[in-house]
Amino acid sequence: MKTDPAWLPDQAFRAIGTRRVVVCGGDGPVVRTVVDEVTRACARYGGRVWHGTAGSPDADGADLLLVLTDLDCLPGEAAAVRAEIAPGQPLGKEGYALARPAGATVVVADGPAGLLYGLFHVARLGEAAFDGWRPLEVHRPASARRMLDHWDNIDVHPVMGQVERGYAGGSIFWRAGEPRDLHRVREYGRLLAAIGVNAVAVNNVNVHATEARLLTDRLGDVAAIADVLRPFGIRTHLSVSFASPMVLGGLPTADPLDPRVREWWSSAVADVYATIPDFGGFVVKADSEGQPGPFGYGRTHADGANALAAALSDHGGVVHWRAFVYNHRQDWRDRTTDRARAAYDHFAPLDGQFADNVILQVKYGPIDFQTREPVSPVIAAMPSTSVAVELQVTQEYTGQQRHVCYLGPLWASILRFRPWGPDGRAVASVAGDGGGLVAVSNVGDDPFWTGHPLAQANLYAFGRLAWDPFLDPLDVLDEWISLTFAPCPSVLRSALHEIMDSSWQVYESYTAPLGVGFMVNPGSHYGPGVDGYEYTPWGTYHFADRDGVGVDRTRASGTGYTGQYPAPWRDVYESVASCPDELLLFFHHVPYSHVLRSGLPLIQHIYDTHFDGVTKVVEMRRRWAEIADFVNAARHARVAQLLDEQVRCAQEWRDQINAYFFRKSGIPDARGRHIH
Ligand code: GCU
């Protein structure tokens, strides 16, 4: 089967392709991409393209002008649009202005990437871009770094497969230990450019022996990928092993303060830049889940990160140092070992000690990409450090691309969260300060890219929200629908919204309740395993007993985790009375009779949501069946088959969770339903 065009089917460029388009800009690789896009669209739909570096002789008759402002002579309309942009508010390398002053739609940009993003904006607007008059709009990304991390291995790992936590087949970069033909990577770059992603890390954060060599003797693999992604405005990054000086360089140590180690990193990095001049930098998982790190040498994470940063700084590279550090061999029930506390305990004391080109990459929650977690307190604890927020587009804990689970609303809630209260800054603004947004990618070599065709919407939403975190995630979903299913009939659009809008909340309703997390099968993290968490040999981490459930993370009587938040949240979360219900069991151990804001006792909430969740999934499946005539047959069949699995799995969750809590509590369902 041909690769699915995802949100860039030919139709998405129809409006542009029927027009007279003028591109005024230089001839670099990114401008070339702009010209290629419009040329292809015009060839298909009968439009005309002119491309040059100075004012076009044809500009007068153009329907669409795409103009780089560094030209000596701007076409009149473009000069007028440029003049309207507030002085002192530069567009920047990636921003663009869009207007339709008279008969022509005009995009102006100061840099090639801005021109490319402006073109895709016009594609999103479709015919509306050419309709009537449009006032000036200026668009700039909220964060300069919008990155996807691939957890791809070159070899197939015996337990994790080729892509760790990948649910869409093998890697798009490698097959059977060798680089692949990169035509799909090209398509991928195009899809990413259309949503504004500008950085990709190509290999797994757990760096195994073969992948470690990407830094040295397999650097050619990385250079080839970088060549393919560069015309889409994307810089390539690499996950490296902290132990590289030993495993690749043969040194007896990887101590970050040892001069031989520092010299080794400098020389390795110099080679990288000689091969890939716009290389982005490193991603490092250190001292976590078995990966080597500075602790082995009695050094701190700042010492470790700074050593690599020193090697990169002259070349304009950065180190994404991950804050996902905890001791996975440790019992984390009490004050000193609560896993939720770990990232803050490790990193908050180091604020101010990181080099300027270190970015601390923090998972959005304190645990691990759960369906519902509070926002990580590390984000508010590092005022002198660049912080990137890490999301997970791959649905490790949210249905593994077998369940429909549109994550836009979850991410929007994180990005809009204000750690210092309603008058303080939002998470998005902290990330916008230099760190950016990062997500673990969900694509593989599956023809639909993402296994579940509807999981493409998550990748789409990540890019769009990284560009503008305050977009309404349901508007973003609507954009994705309009492009992907173009031209989308209203019956299809409304069915897709019914299926997808609340699918994250539906998923939550039949899985672990009220922020308690996990309850998945160990290892695979798929399907219900109520007591199955792998790192709790001493018992259940959720503390369910015959009286109640939940983890006491208060300062008063629990692990003290609430104290890692600034006011007001440290107090809001501390008290059962003010803690939001959706996070109740994350912060508190409460009796089954505890009455929620809905008026229902906790145990009844658990029963009701689990019955209700299954009903909703059955309804999703019914809606999907109804629209068979409006969807490409292969895509329809794939989703239908996965919805069968979602129904099956949701029932299994319902039955296991309800039976578990019924047996623990002995309290029957007030509505008299049968609990298996
Ligand atoms: C999770 C995931 C691992 C991954 C880790 C990480 O624990 O299950 O597969 O390596 O996160 O983010 O590093």
The number of C-alpha atoms within 13 Å of 111 and in the hemisphere containing its C-beta is 12
Residues 6+ apart with CB under 8 A from 486: 9, 11, 12, 14, 126
Assess whether the C-beta atom of 291 lies below 6 angstroms from ligand 1.
no
Contact residues for 61 (Cβ-Cβ < 8 A; gap 6+): 20
Rounded mean pLDDT of 633-662? Answer: 98
Ligand 1: distance of its center to the CA of 107 in Å?
42
- d(CA 534, CA 518) in angstroms, rounded, equals 10
Report the atom number in ligand 1 closest to the C-alpha of 206.
Answer: 10
The pLDDT of 237-250, averaged and rounded, is: 98
| Contacts of residue 158, Cβ cutoff 8 Å, sequence gap at least 6 | none
Question: Quick one: pLDDT band at residue 540, thresholds 50, 70, 90?
Answer: confident
Antiparallel, parallel or unpaired: β 161-163 and 152-157: antiparallel
Helix (H) or strand (E) holding 239: strand 235-239
* Residue 327 CA, distance from chain mean position: 25
CB 368 within 8 A of CB 465: no
| Euclidean distance between CA atoms 379 and 365, whole angstroms | 10
Task: Round to whole Å and give the CA distance between 511 and 519.
Answer: 8
Is the pLDDT at 178 greater than 60, yes or no?
Answer: yes
* Smallest CA separation from ligand 1 atom 11, residue: 368
- Within the chain, how many helices (H) and strands (E) appear? 21, 20
Q: How many CA atoms lie within 13 A of 618 on its CB side?
A: 7
* Tokens found for residue 589: 């151990």
Please choose from 289, 370, 391 the residue to mutate so as to test ligand 1's pocket, defined by most ligand atoms within 8 A of CB: 289
Question: Span 637-651, mean pLDDT?
Answer: 98
What confidence score (pLDDT) does residue 239 get?
Answer: 98
With a 6 Å cutoff on the Cβ, whether 165 touches ligand 1 is yes
Mean of the pLDDT values across residues 320-341? 76
The per-residue pLDDT for 86 is 82
Residue 242: CB within 6 Å of ligand 1?
no
Q: 41 CA distance to ligand 1 centroid (A)?
A: 41
| φ and ψ of 106, to 5 deg | -125, 130
Nearest CA owner, ligand 1 atom 2? 165
Cβ atoms < 10 Å from Cβ of 626: 12
- Yes or no: say if 533 and 518 are a contact pair by the CB < 8 Å rule: yes
Residue 391 beta carbon below 6 angstroms from any ligand 1 atom: no
> Is 324's C-beta closer than 6 angstroms to any atom of ligand 1?
yes
Angle at 410 between CA 564 and CA 553, to 5 degrees: 25
pLDDT at 652 over 90: yes
The protein residue whose alpha carbon is closest to atom 12 in ligand 1 is: 324
496-503 average pLDDT score = 98
Q: Count CA atoms within 13 Å of residue 89 on its CB side.
A: 12
* Overall average pLDDT of the 187-213 stretch: 98
Distance 548 CA to ligand 1 centre (A): 30
> Highest mean pLDDT: which of 64-73, 166-175, 323-332?
166-175
Which pLDDT value is given to residue 638?
98
- 141 φ, ψ to 5°? -70, 145
Nearest to 414 by CA among 465, 487, 449, 448: 465
CA of 109 to the centre of ligand 1 (A): 39
Percentage, residues of the chain above pLDDT 90: 88
Q: Is the CB of 229 under 6 A from ligand 1?
A: no
Is the C-beta atom of 164 inside 6 A of ligand 1? Answer: yes
Q: Which pLDDT value is given to residue 624?
A: 98
Give CA–CA dist 483/555, Å, rounded: 49
Determine the average pLDDT of the residues in 107-115. 96
The amino acid occupying position 259 is: P
- pLDDT for 76 equals 82
pLDDT at position 58 is: 66
- Evaluate if residue 611 carries a pLDDT over 90: yes
Q: Which ligand 1 atom minimizes the distance to the CA of 285?
A: 13
CA of 463 to the centre of ligand 1 (A): 22
pLDDT in tens, 565-595: 999 999 999 999 999 999 999 999 999 999 9
User: What are the structural domains of the chain?
Assistant: 10-139 (3.30.379.10), 146-472 (3.20.20.80), 508-551+589-665 (3.90.1330.10)
Number of Cβ within 10 Å of residue 349's Cβ equals: 13
Sheet holding 134-139, edge to edge: 48-52, 20-24, 64-68, 105-109, 96-100, 134-139
For residue 368 and ligand 1, the question of a CB distance below 6 A is answered with yes
As a whole number of angstroms, the distance between CA 330 and CA 132 comes to 64
DSSP 8-class letter at 397: T
**ω before 568 within 30° of 0 (cis)?**
yes
pLDDT of residue 585: 98
Confidence of residue 74 (pLDDT cuts 50, 70, 90): confident
pLDDT digits (tens, 9 = 90+) for 388-411: 999 999 999 999 999 999 999 999
Residue 342 C-alpha to ligand 1 middle, in angstroms? 15
Atom of ligand 1 nearest to the CA of 204: 10
Determine the longest span between alpha carbons in the chain, in angstroms: 82
Q: Give mean pLDDT, residues 504-515.
A: 98
Mutate to test the pocket of ligand 1, among 376, 396, 524, 526 (most ligand atoms within 8 A of CB): 396
Which sequence positions are flagged as catalytic?
289, 368, 396
Q: Take atom 10 of ligand 1 and give the residue whose Cα is closest.
A: 206
The radius of gyration of the chain's CA atoms, rounded to the nearest angstrom, is 26
> What is the C-alpha separation between 413 and 222, in angstroms, rounded?
35
**404 contacts 646 by C-beta, under 8 angstroms:** yes
What residues contact residue 364 under an 8 Å CB cut-off, 6+ apart? 373, 375, 376, 389, 390, 391, 411, 414
Ligand 1 pocket: which of 324, 367, 398, 440 to mutate (most atoms within 8 A of CB) = 324
Residue 438: helix, strand or coil by DSSP? strand
The tokens describing 504, both together, are 């994250």
**What CA–CA distances, in Å, run from 177 to 99, 205, 207, 221, 447?**
49, 18, 15, 11, 21
CA dihedral 452, 453, 454, 455 (to 10 degrees): 60
Q: How far apart, in whole angstroms, are the C-alpha atoms of residue 565 and residue 331?
A: 23
Ligand 1 contact via 390 beta carbon (within 6 Å): no
Cα separation, 76 vs 56, in Å, equals 10
303 lines ligand 1 (CB under 6 A): no
Ligand 1, from 159, 165, 533: best to mutate by most atoms within 8 Å of Cβ? 165
Give me ligand 1 centre to Cα 539, in Å.
22
Tell me which residue has its CA closest to atom 1 in ligand 1. 368
- Note the pLDDT of residue 535: 59
Residue with tokens 């970050």: 256
Q: Which two tokens stand for residue 34?
A: 């702009």
Ligand 1 centre distance from Cα of residue 669 (Å): 37
What's the full length of the chain, in residues?
676
Compute the mean pLDDT over every residue in the chain, rounded to the nearest whole number.
Answer: 95
Distance of alpha carbon 290 from alpha carbon 327, whole angstroms:
9
pLDDT beyond 60 at 334: no
Confidence of residue 52 (pLDDT cuts 50, 70, 90): confident
Q: Which atom of ligand 1 is nearest to the CA of 390?
A: 12
Measured distance CA(141)–CA(556) in Å, rounded: 42
Q: pLDDT over 70 for what percent of the chain?
A: 97
Q: Exposure pattern of 518-556 as b/e (b: 16+ CB <10 Å)?
A: bbbeeeebbbbbbebbebbeeeebbebeeebbbbbbbbe
Residue 160 CA: nearest ligand 1 atom is 9
Which residue is listed with tokens 């440029």?
Answer: 82
Nearest Cα residue to atom 7 of ligand 1: 368
* Distance (Å) from CA 53 to ligand 1 centroid: 48
Q: pLDDT at position 232, please?
A: 98
Using the predicted structure, report yes or no on whether residue 332 has a pLDDT greater than 90.
no
The verdict on the CB of residue 339 being under 6 Å from ligand 1 is no
Report CA(517)–ligand 1 centroid distance (Å).
15
Statement: residue 271 has pLDDT above 60: yes
> Cα of 289 to ligand 1 centre, how many Å?
8
Q: Is the peptide bond before 537 cis (omega within 30 degrees of 0)?
A: no
Q: Is the CB of 205 under 6 A from ligand 1?
A: yes
pLDDT at 368: 95
